[in-house]
Structure 1
Amino acid sequence: MPPTFRRPPRFAVSCALAALAVLAVPAVPAWADPAPSFAELLSRLDQAPATLEADALSQAAEARVRQARARPNPTIGLDAENAFGTGPFSGFGNAETTLSVSQDLELFGRRTARIDAARAEAGTAVLQRDLAVVDAAGRLALVYAEAEAGERRAALAEEALTLTVADARAALALVEEGREPLLRGIQGESEAAAARANRDEAVAERDAAFARLTAVAMLPVPVTTIDASLLDQAPAAALVSSDVSLAVRVAEAQRIAAEQRIAVERVRARPDINASVGIRRYEAEDATALTFGVSMPLPLFDRNRGNIDAAQAEFRAAEARVTGARQEAQADRAAALARLGASLSRVGAADGGVASAEEAYRLSRIGFEAGRISQLEMRVARAALVSARTTAVDARLARVRAEIDLARQDGRAPFQGAQ
């Protein structure tokens, strides 16, 4: 015959039930403002600090193009000779005064090379701005998804606490009836306390994730809920071509800019010719005459070889970066596609696991209350249910991360069409 259990004191059971009632008190959220949808936040991305910084750098590059088009200013000079000396030059009567204007001619394609280099730098800045916008969109999507995942994990922890408290109460009821030893009730109370601690930790992580979302999205007030789900949103269709990687395009633009800098340094090695014209006044003869001339430096000591070699070395480095960027883009795109496909399968499997775990827990709860299965079996079923639901959240978060990686390779915002 199965062993019988002596009914525990009613006072002990009452104290345990009171403790469970305290543990089951739900956590009260500190904030009460829902977050805007991801699409709405994405439309405000032009006000993000990273986007504003990239726009400012692009505008600075365009301003340098305008400055490169400007010709050098002429130089005006006034010279006086043979004045205020001794003898016949004691006064200003025999002075010779010259008023001249000189101008840098910018020969040998100096101005064209300067403009082309500035345009190449501006093109690089534009692509870097586009890449910064894509990166900012990816960061926003990740923070949004992590906040939603934190909210779901907190809800799951709250539900797990509710289930654990309910199971503990059912165990205490059996203890009071003498069908289970008091140890089962103590174990249930301990599990409820652990579930309460897990709930509190999940709530803290949720609040931290909401705080990060508030900061990244630059929302005026903190948020506490997410109404428009991003975890459940299907990823956008991937582009067929992999040549649109902004990282590769930025590297190629940097290589072009480096090549233009070589041309600039080569032009600087050529003589900088300066022409001048002026009027000279002869005080003694009360006469005037024109003056004109051409000047240029003699390239005896400085032929700009150091700067030319440096520009060529920078061009070789830029070529190496292009090669590396292309290889990385191909590998990253293949990896992103593989992770996205795996995450899609994982989400489907996780949803099926949740359905099975829910049914298993329901049946185990019925069997436990009927006395056909042990409390340990019910605890295992409950733990499996909590794990399955958590796995479903993690699978959706992994899908979002894979979509973010693939969107960066496609040069678009996550969950959006190609830009």
Structure 2
Amino acid sequence: MQARNIIVAFLLGSLPLLSWADSPPSPIQDSTQTSQDINTSTVLALEDAIAFTLKNNPLLYQYHFRHQSLMAQREASSLSPALELGIEIENIAGSGEFNGVDSAETTLALSSVIELGAKARSRVAVVDARSDRLNFERQAATLDVLGELTALFIRTLATQESIALSKEAAALSERMLKTVRQRASKGAAPEAEVMRAKAALIRASVRLNAQHSSFERQRMALSSFWGSTNPHFSTLSGSLSVLDASGDFASLLQRAQRSPAIAIFASEARLKDAEVKLAQAQSRVDIGWQLGVRRFEETDDTAFTAGISIPLFSGKRNHGAVTSALAERNAVDYQQVDAQLKLHNRLFTAFSQRKENTAAVKQFSSQILPALEQALNLTRQAYETGRYRYQDWIAAQEELLTAKQQHIEAATAAQLNQALIEQLIAEPLTTDNLPY
């Protein structure tokens, strides 16, 4: 399964990697053993990293326990008011004829409350709405985690390509040093050029070491997404230069409106509607009732007792709660409008930057890099025959290496913007020619 298909499958609920029924892994575990269990290859693909993260990411499992809590709340909310058994003894330990217990009156009563206004159903509706919102929160949080993972994977892949470029730069510097030494031995080049060529080779080695260190840090950060502190992969698979067609902005925006980040507000509105109905139901009075048996100790007689109680002015006392619930419900509409505006801006920025970066990648690949590679070959040949200076060769080589690094950076930016677009729309741009 490809990486973006994994995300779509998760959103559609068809991927059983993280469901409400799953038992989360223990928070205290042997991270080395976990890493060995899931990292069976030294090459890591993005789809594998996503699968590991969905199965083992500690952050995502908090929703498992929040769901359990809501299910317990739903069970409690559906219960009717409890029955109460009470006993009351009167006319004891007094004075005169009420001295002792001969005149005692003992009442054994069963009491409860009759809820009016379908309060139990309203409470359950609130919990169900919270559960619905939690599901969208989980989806949005998963997209955020997978978005962060994908972005880090892309940056790590860029570092890996930069390492390959640094190795190429070191090889070019080594070849340059060899050529300059040969010319210097024949008296055709000054010794200063040999020293400069040596320094260039050392600088290339320093850059290569720094990039290796950066790659190690990124490997560790990637492994942390699935709870491992001991990464066992050594390389990443993928190419930064494979880019999908993004389509037009209007269609992307339409798809983004259906994403969990926006759907949360619809579920939030349903929750607030349920809370308003519950607050309104609480304004309806509850009737308390009591049935019992009273025993008169003095005459050894018994009698039944019955009673009801109705609270006064409950609707007026609950007016503030209803007003507060209505205000919170109205605020959700404005929060959704604000979120949609922010979504529009983020999506357009990512779309525009990706379009710009994609055009740059194509120009580097088709025009700039071939021209500079040819220029470097011609300059090297001219230097070897004494027609060009050492500075000309250095300049041509630096121009090519700089352009290749810019090509990597443009491709990285394009992939990062593509990952952000897919995170915002919660869908792949296309299911064909996936870059990973």
Instruction: Give the structure-1-normalised TM-score.
Output: 0.84
- Residues 140 and 217, structure 1, Cα contact 8 Å, conserved in 2: no
Shift of 1:306: 3.5
Structure 1: distance between partners of 2:229 and 2:270: 43
Shift of 1:416: 6.6
* Range with bigger deviation, 136-145 or 215-224: 215-224
Give a deviation string over 1:138-179, Cα, whole Å, max 9, x none.
Answer: 111112112111111122112212211321232232222211
- Give the residue type in structure 2 aligned to 1:262: V
**Which letter does structure 1 place at the counterpart of 2:55?**
D
Distance between the aligned counterparts of 2:429 and 2:137, measured in 1? Answer: 18
CA contact (8 A) 1:277 1:290 kept: yes
Q: How does 1:19-418 map to 2 (within 5 A)?
A: 34-44=42-52, 45-219=54-228, 221-223=230-232, 225-229=234-238, 231-235=240-244, 241-242=254-255, 243-299=257-313, 303-352=317-366, 353-412=368-427
Tell whether the 8 Å contact from 2:284 to 2:314 is kept in structure 1 after alignment. no
Q: Distance in 2 between matches of 1:72 and 1:229?
A: 61
**What letter is aligned with 1:140?**
L
In the alignment, the residues of structure 1 paired with residue 240 and residue 62 of structure 2 have an alpha-carbon distance, to the nearest angstrom, of 30
For residues 191-232 of structure 1, the C-alpha deviation after alignment (integer angstroms, 9 at most, x for no partner) is: 222222222221221111111112223346324532421535
Identity %: 20
Q: Is the 8 A contact 1:38 1:230 kept in 2?
A: no
Partner deviation per Cα, 1:20-78 (whole Å, 9 max, x = no partner): xxxxxxxxxxxx97243211222231321222123332333333223221222212111
CA contact under 8 A between 1:154 and 1:203: conserved in structure 2? yes
Structure 1 SS opposite 2:187: coil
8 Å CA contact 1:259, 1:315 repeated in 2: yes
- Gaps spanning 5+ residues in structure 1: where? 1-31
Answer whether contact 1:368 1:374 (CA < 8 A) is retained.
Answer: yes
Structure with larger Rg: 1
* CA shift in 2, pair 1:193/1:33, >3 Å: farther
Query: For the residues of structure 1 that align with 2:239 and 2:101, how far apart are their CA atoms?
Result: 88
CA drift at 1:96: 1.2
Q: Is residue 58–residue 226 contact of structure 2 (8 Å, CA) maintained in 1? A: no
Farther-moved stretch of structure 1 (51-60 vs 295-304): 295-304
The one-letter amino acid paired with 2:423 is: R
2:4 aligned partner: none
Q: Displacement of 1:129 after TM fit?
A: 0.6
Unaligned runs of 5+ in 2: 1-39
Q: CA 1:60 to 1:363, structure 2 compared with 1: closer, same or farther past 3 Å?
A: farther
Other-structure match for 2:35: none
Deviations 1:252-279 (A, max 9, x none): 2212212322232233344332222112
Letter in 1 for 2:374: E
Comparing 95-104 and 301-310, the one that deviates more = 301-310
The AA in structure 2 aligned to 1:210 is R
Give SS of 2:317's match.
coil
The aligned counterpart of 1:12 is none
Q: C-alpha distance in 1, partners of 2:400/2:232?
A: 29
Partner of 2:32: none
**How far apart, CA to CA, are the structure 1 residues paired with 2:108 and 2:375?**
102
The amino acid that maps onto 1:63 is A
The answer to which of 408-417 and 110-119 deviates more is 408-417
1:100–1:279 CA contact under 8 A, matched in 2: yes
Q: 1:359 to 1:72 in 2, by over 3 A?
A: farther
Alpha-carbon offset, residue 249 of structure 1: 0.8
CA distance in 2, matches of 1:413, 1:80: 74
| Structure 1 residue 374 displacement after superposition | 1.4
How far apart are the structure 1 equivalents of 2:314 and 2:63? 43
One-letter identity of the residue aligned with 1:170: T
Q: What is the aligned partner in structure 1 of residue 34 from structure 2?
A: none
